[in-house]
Structure 1
Amino acid sequence: MRRLALIAILVSQAEAAEWVRIATSAFEVYTDAGEETAREALSQIERIHSAFAPMRSRDLPLPARIIVFSSRSEFERTRPSSTAEAFFQSGPERDYIVAHRSVSGNYRVLRHEYVHLALSHSSSRLPLWFEEGTAEFYSTIDISGTRLRIGEPIPDHIRKLQSAGLLEAAVFAAVDRGSPWYSDRDKAGLFYAQCWALVHMMNLAPGYRGRMPVFADKLAAGDPPAQAFHEAFGKNLAAALADAAYYLRRPFRVAHVAWEPSQHEIQAQVERIGRTEAALVIGELLIYSGKPELAEEIYARVEKDGTGSPESVAGSAMIALRRGSTREAMRQFERAIALGSRQASVFFEYAMLLRDSRAEAERYRPLLEQAIAIQPSLAEAQFILGLEYSREGNEEKAVEHYRKAAEILPRQANFWHALALSYHKLGQRELALRCARRTLQAARNPAEMEMAEAAIRLTSNQQVEPERRSGVATPGSWQSSTGDSAIVGQLVRVDCEESEARLHLKTSAGDFILRATRNTRGDVRQLECGVQKPLNVSVGYDAATKEIRRIVFR
């Protein structure tokens, strides 16, 4: 009942409030908090975007949408965790920064999320403490005239550290997104404060600031964080945290930097939008922030109103896809295209459904091409086209698409892995090894780490092995459901039952028995029951039910 109440509130708010939109070439702001809020939020984002330009390796490849809710309660229904006061969310066609009016006036929060957005497209995966500390450090940028002040102290952080002290180095370095030090509000406050203090010292303290570029370069090259830190600063993290404790007792340094302000944001005009467009904006956000059950009702209400827009039909298709309703998803994608959809993700997802069903390439390849014609920055479409060219033996063309995908989303291990293998086949050993190391740096789970380590072993060999089928695993970013666990191993036996099959796999972590059902997606193979000649596979599955969500034969 509570979920239904939340849905009803979200729908009614989208319909009742007066929403406005204001946009520049890189950003658009949607809000129901009034024109002044829209203008100020856009101005702040554009200003830090301009100020941050020298620190970005490239311009943002995707447009960004900033959503500012008028009340905290509305925002809380969309946020990914109870500790978030604002959040950054990536999507296939755009990125999102989401906040509520009571914190949007505190522009430090918006600037913090912008830094996450910029880093997601310009750096490999960073240690969590370094990324959060960097976002906090630059969130204090004070932009005035032609000067920037960077590194203003954050009093709340200082008070927290002075009262609670610093976490030990081993605990601090081990914090990840599932840790209580990141997800519990009280503990997270101390972690964020310590991240900020350490990164502040690394950027501005004598003895550290001159070595920061070395640390950043070593991380970009794929060096392990602990090794990169020691080689850059000549000490380990524990010694640096001891320095930080002393640093906190001294007056804080602030950097002054010359800046040429951009003027293009002042040309933007505010426009009022209807309730349907507002509902679709919220619905799309809910899909990509992991709340499809809330999005589903919003799309259903839009459809019930008789709008029948390509956007609402596409939203219904995305929800069907995430529920595993393949036929319904295909029907809705076809309908959205027939209605004139210009969403690249619609063409891409429809192409992937056809590809998974073993349709002829002539049916799905034009859809992939159409997707990147609409939006060349759709990284997953670039990746799949690269995979198609690689299977045809055209590694030069495959590299072209893999590189584009990795440039857009440098934190996708699958993209670097594919690029490493294609370079290896082309005999470009140095580039292959570099990409294999980037794969390891981007790896997020044991399966990806095993995949990366295998690529490093392969590309470190002076002799180029004969060409064989690529071991590229399908990326999780475009799958409707990959489960919460993943393994890489060999399929050695299939037990056939009435409505499912039980697959026996051998891996470096032990033996597994997993269930293949009608919801399993991925490569299609005709397998006979019984003992199999060992087949290399990558499997995504649900740990609780042992149900396979996706299988890729390698």
Structure 2
Amino acid sequence: MRLRHILGALLLLASLPILAREKAAAWVRVASPHFTIVSNAGAKQARHVAGQLERMRSVFQQTLSGGSADPAAPIIVLAARDDKTFRTLVPEAWLAKGQMERAGQFIRAPEKNYVLLRLDAAGENPFAAIYHEYTHILMHRTNLAVPLWLDEGTAEFYANSRIYSGEAQLGLPDRDYGGLLRRTALLPLSTLFAVDYSSPYYNEETKGSIFYAESWALTHLLMVRGFAEHPSPIQNFLNLTRSGVEPLEAARQAFGAPAQLQKDLGNYVQQGDFHFFRVKAATEVDENSFSGDVLAPGESLATLGDIMVANGRFRDARAALVEALRDDPRNADAATAMGYLELRENHLEEARRWFSEAVRLDARSTYALYYYATMLMESSEGGRPPDEVEKSLRAAIQIDPTFAPASSALATFYAQRAEKLEEAERLGARAVELDPSILAFRLNLAFVLLRRDRPGDAIRVLESALKIVKTPAETEQVNMRLESARRFQEALASRRALPPQNPEVSPPALRRHSEEISPPVLRRRSGESPPEKSGSTPAAPGKSPPARGPRDMLDGTITEVTCSLPTHMDLTLASSAGKFHLHSEDYLKVEYSAVGFEPAGELVPCTGLRGRRARVFFYDLKGRPNEGDLISVELRK
């Protein structure tokens, strides 16, 4: 029996990540005016990291011509003292043989920015990784989609900087890159411009080095060449790509003929005489003034577990968070991270329970309130979200009025309920203003505008969203919404052009694509795809459940309603797009509401819907055109 207990303890210990077992290394937290540093390298080193970031921020702030060097979301820097710690937190794909050796990672999330740093990284500039990752933060706070070569090239340009009292030297030459480029054939620019996050040139050690080096050299060349030009060639290039011009053509227009640019880059690399920028800037920072404390084990594990979740290391994250909650069952941050983990693994009921617990533990946690509300919205499955969503999101906004995700989610809540649409538009626009780099904020705002029957404005918002997409999937998502908004615009114009109709004749259908019916509420972080929904509405007895398609919406007149035991309902909606047959296994779970009027008496679905104008929400059924699973019914006057 004793041996069994010992083996069980050893198995539990083996399942924990290294960080959860290392009790000797205390984690400290240092807070400067604009950064929070969490590190296992000691308070002195953590203060130094914060000081370097504050100095770099000061330089950027003084050179941005009135712009802001502060992103909307807070910046949390996890400074790992060595490679051993660093490797327990990065994506597991980075650990595979032949992968690039990295010294830092930027993790973009709607509610926070994580920067993961390795403090023992090799190199002549010990602060290069810090400057590199901070540059990424500033690059990603804009409303521009930046190509990967320029994103990494700019980060490498500023990584090679030195900051002194009263002066900063930016874009110093990188001798390692210069040597590599002089002895290695350059990539064709067409190849360089095509590299994305899945490319071997970004991930593999043998190819990644030349990608980073050439991206740095080309950016350096263009920065120096365009120093006195306003706008600069790089800004012209970004303006062209954001307007839809293909990258090679945009480069030709902004930088000149590709063949000549390739030749110029080769000559620039070979001559080895790289210029840099000398900037007069006040950089005095008192590192000793930063507050600091030693984290309890549960506090540090909650932060580490949250980063592990963001990086997809779910097993390690769960072990760390379980340990954190064992150390302190009232740790709201650990409960929030556990909810986020369950959400990422598509365990929606467990996620909802953990977010509810996090709110109970800390009623002033904006993250917990936000995630709890979005989970409640998720559970409504396109129907009428519960009142508690509004209460939770308003509490988050009251605690932090600059917390953009809560404003965007509340705008979506009102749009889904067809309530307070003017305020919903203001909230949605505020979220975009606070953080223009988040695609979902623009999609949510477009959804609100469609609910206000303003497809033209929604189209303009979606067209602006195309300028910040970063992946083909995001481009496809926005284009689908644009197509739906344009169809809705045409249908709305046709309806308004018609003379008053006989109430027995249904007006033209105002049909929108499902994505406008189920807008994103930003419950996941950047780069994450939403998990598939678990389960579906069961089919009638004796039939295989049909595969659900996307959510959809249709306007028309309900012409037939048939109910059968126990609670089945079949509904036919007539519209200019044809007749649609909708089914519910339980009509008591369908949401019923009225817009613009108060129905007389109690509404009995089986007998009170026939002949009424309505907007219905439903799931399309794959392979069954003009059929769907009913979600909700909005009666219209």
3-state SS of the aligned residue for 1:166? coil
1:414 is matched by which residue type in structure 2?
A
Q: Given the alignment, which residue of 314, 322, 325 partners 1:300?
A: 322
- Give the Cα–Cα distance (whole angstroms) in 1 for the partners of residues 622 and 275 of structure 2: 69
The one of 76, 79, 83 aligned to 1:72: 83
In the alignment, the residues of structure 2 paired with residue 130 and residue 211 of structure 1 have an alpha-carbon distance, to the nearest angstrom, of 12
Aligned residues: 514
1:551 match: none
Tell me, yes or no, if structure 1 residue 453 matches structure 2 residue 462: no
Cα distance per residue 1:264-296 (max 9 Å; x no partner): 655213322222222222122212222222121
Asked if 2 retains the 8 angstrom alpha-carbon contact of 1:121 and 1:408, the reply is no
SS at match of 1:153: coil
- Please state whether the residue corresponding to 1:122 is helix, strand or coil: coil
Say what the alpha-carbon RMSD is for the aligned residues.
3.9
Partner of 1:384 in structure 2?
A: 409
Tell me, yes or no, if structure 1 residue 61 matches structure 2 residue 105: no
* Superposed displacement of residue 115, structure 1: 0.7
TM-score normalised to structure 2 length: 0.71
Q: Amino acid of the residue matched to residue 94 of structure 1?
A: K
Match of 1:478 in 2: 523
* The one of 112, 115, 131 aligned to 1:97: 115
Partner of 2:29, secondary structure, is strand
Quick one: which of 547, 562, 580 aligns to 1:503? 547
Residue 435 (structure 1) aligns with: 461
Partner of residue 87, structure 1: 105
Deviation at 1:196, TM superposition (A): 0.3
Indicate if the aligned counterparts of 2:35 and 2:50 stay in contact, CA closer than 8 A. Answer: yes
CA contact (8 A) 1:109 1:139 kept: yes
Matching residue of 1:520: none
Structure 1 residue 169, shift from structure 2 partner = 1.9
Matches within 5 A, 1:10-49: 10-13=19-22, 15-49=23-57
Q: Which moved more, 1:259-268 or 1:66-75?
A: 259-268
Q: Give the conservation status (yes or no) of the 8 Å contact 1:321–1:480.
A: no
Match of 1:362 among 380, 387, 398: 387
Superposed CA deviations along residues 349-404 of structure 1, whole A, max 9, x for unmatched, are 22222222226531222112222333344443322222233342655433322233
Alpha carbons of structure 1 residues 444 and 206: separation in structure 2 relative to 1, 3 Å: closer
Residue range with higher mean Cα deviation, 347-356 or 399-408:
399-408
CA distance in structure 2 between the aligned counterparts of 1:330 and 1:366, rounded to whole angstroms: 16
CA contact (8 A) 1:129 1:172 kept: yes
SS of the counterpart of 1:442?
A: coil
| Shift in CA distance, 253/274, structure 1 to aligned 2, threshold 3 Å | same
Q: Tell me if structure 1 keeps the 8 A contact 2:161–2:168.
A: yes
| Alignment correspondent of 1:531 | 624
Q: Secondary structure at the match of 1:240?
A: helix
**Length-normalised TM-score, structure 1:** 0.81
Query: Match for residue 583 of structure 2?
Result: none
Cα offset, 1:409, TM superposition: 4.2
1:285-331 deviations in whole A, cap 9, x for unaligned?
Answer: 21222222212112212333354322233333332333333333323
Answer whether contact 2:59 2:283 (CA < 8 A) is retained. Answer: yes
Name the SS for the 2:198 alignment partner: coil
Does the aligned pair in 2 maintain the 1:222–1:438 contact within 8 Å?
no
Whole-angstrom distance in 1 between the partners of 2:196 and 2:127: 26
Structure 2 segments unaligned to the other structure (5+ residues): 1-9, 493-509, 551-615, 631-637
Query: Within 2, Cα distance between the matches of 1:439 and 1:364?
Result: 26
Does structure 1 retain, via aligned residues, the 8 Å contact 2:408–2:445? no
Decide whether aligned partners of structure 1 residues 78 and 159 sit closer, same or farther in structure 2, where only a CA change above 3 A counts.
Answer: same
Contact preservation (8 Å) 1:337, 1:346: yes
The residue aligned with 2:200 is 180
Deviation at 1:7, TM superposition (A): 2.5
Counterpart in the other structure of 2:561: none
For 1:387 and 1:181, how far apart are their aligned partners in 2? 40
Deviation string, structure 1 residues 405-453 (Cα, Å, up to 9, x no partner): 3344434333334445656787989865553333223334555323433
**Structure 1 gap segments, 5+ residues each:** 488-492, 507-522, 538-554
- Distance, in Å, in 1 between the alignment partners of 2:12 and 2:183 is 40
Output one character per residue of 1:488-541: Cα deviation in whole Å (capped at 9) or x when no partner: xxxxx99889998442769xxxxxxxxxxxxxxxx995788983416799xxxx
Tell me which amino acid in the other structure corresponds to 1:389.
Y
Q: Against the structure 1 CA distance between its residues 383 and 342, is the aligned structure 2 distance closer, same or farther, given a 3 Å change threshold?
A: same
Deviations 1:167-206 (A, max 9, x none): 1122111111111000101211100001000000111026
Structure-2 change in CA distance of 1:275 and 1:344 (3 Å): same
C-alpha spacing 1:159/1:356, structure 2 compared with 1 (3 Å): same
For residues 112 and 451 of structure 2, what CA distance do their matches in structure 1 show? Answer: 33
Matches of 1:304 and 1:166, distance apart in 2: 54
Counterpart of 1:109, as a letter, is A
Give the Cα–Cα distance (whole angstroms) in 2 for the partners of residues 333 and 482 of structure 1.
22
Are 1:399 and 2:425 counterparts? yes
Asked whether the equivalents of residues 48 and 287 of structure 2 are also in contact (C-alpha less than 8 Å), the reply is: no
Give 1:143-292 correspondences, 5 Å limit: 143-205=163-225, 210-219=232-241, 223-236=245-258, 238-250=259-271, 251-261=273-283, 263=285, 267-292=289-314
State which of 429, 440, 444 in structure 2 corresponds to 1:414: 440
C-alpha displacement at 1:61, in angstroms?
1.1
Provide the rounded CA distance (Å) in 2 between the counterparts of 1:292 and 1:406.
31
Distance 1:256 1:432, change over 3 A: farther
The amino acid across from 2:340 in the alignment is M
Question: Secondary structure of the equivalent of 1:87?
Answer: strand
The alpha carbon displacement at 1:346 in A equals 1.5
Identity %: 24
1:6-36 deviation line (CA, Å, top 9, x unaligned)? 73422022x3212222111310111111222
The amino acid of 2:146's aligned partner reads L
Counterpart secondary structure, 1:331: helix
Matched with 2:585 is: none
Judge conservation of contact 2:412–2:519 (CA < 8 Å) in 1: no
After alignment, is 79-88 or 265-274 more displaced? 265-274
Query: What amino acid maps onto 2:523 in structure 1?
Result: W
Q: Give the distance between the partners of 2:403 and 2:279, measured in 1 at CA.
A: 35
* Deviation larger for 201-210 or 332-341: 201-210
| 1:437–1:208 CA distance, 2 compared to 1 (3 A) | farther
- Superimposed CA distance per residue, residues 12-65 of structure 1 (whole angstroms, 9 cap, x where no aligned partner): 22x321222211131011111122211211111111111122345563212111
Partner SS for 1:313: helix
